[in-house]
């Protein structure tokens, strides 16, 4: 995926902005609504730890059996813990948007 980020960055500002909007704004909003808002909330009936680990494992699994699986799992734990502690999906969304945005910018210029 780094090659895709670099290609978008080299294709002009429009491509880079579209990549940032879709990958750093739309993606995190959708993922947090699903994995924290639906999955983690739905798993709470089995306890907070099951909810946190279960939603994080599913979050990592949708990112595929790739080099980012472990990273996605750890970030899922962080986003999930933030959601659980704050009680607000928006806190997790903001953190996820920030994380993805910084990563996309970093990998686009490297």
Question: At 8, which helix (H) or strand (E)?
Answer: helix 2-10
- List, for residues 2-60, the tens digit of each pLDDT value: 666 677 777 878 888 888 898 899 999 999 999 999 999 999 999 999 999 999 999 99
- What burial class does residue 70 get, using C-beta atoms within 10 Å of its C-beta: 0-12 exposed, 13-18 middle, 19+ buried? exposed
pLDDT category at 67 given cuts 50, 70, 90 is confident
- Report the C-alpha gap between 42 and 36 in whole angstroms: 9
Cβ(18)–Cβ(8) below 8 Å: yes
Assess whether pLDDT exceeds 60 at residue 1: no
pTM of the model: 0.88
Question: At 29, which helix (H) or strand (E)?
Answer: helix 27-32
- List, for residues 90-105, the tens digit of each pLDDT value: 999 999 999 999 988 8
Cβ(107)–Cβ(2) below 8 Å: yes
């Amino acid at each position: 995926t780094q090659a895709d980020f670099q290609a978008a960055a080299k294709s002009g500002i429009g491509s880079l902005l579209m990549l940032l909007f879709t990958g750093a704004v739309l993606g995190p909003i959708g993922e947090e609504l699903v994995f924290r808002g639906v999955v983690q909330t739905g798993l709470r009936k089995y306890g907070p730890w099951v909810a946190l680990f279960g939603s994080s494992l599913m979050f990592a699994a949708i990112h595929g059996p790739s080099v980012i699986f472990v990273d996605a799992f750890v970030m899922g734990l962080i986003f999930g813990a933030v959601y659980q502690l704050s009680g607000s999906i928006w806190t997790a969304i903001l953190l996820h948007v920030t994380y993805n945005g910084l990563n996309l910018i970093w990998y686009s210029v490297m």
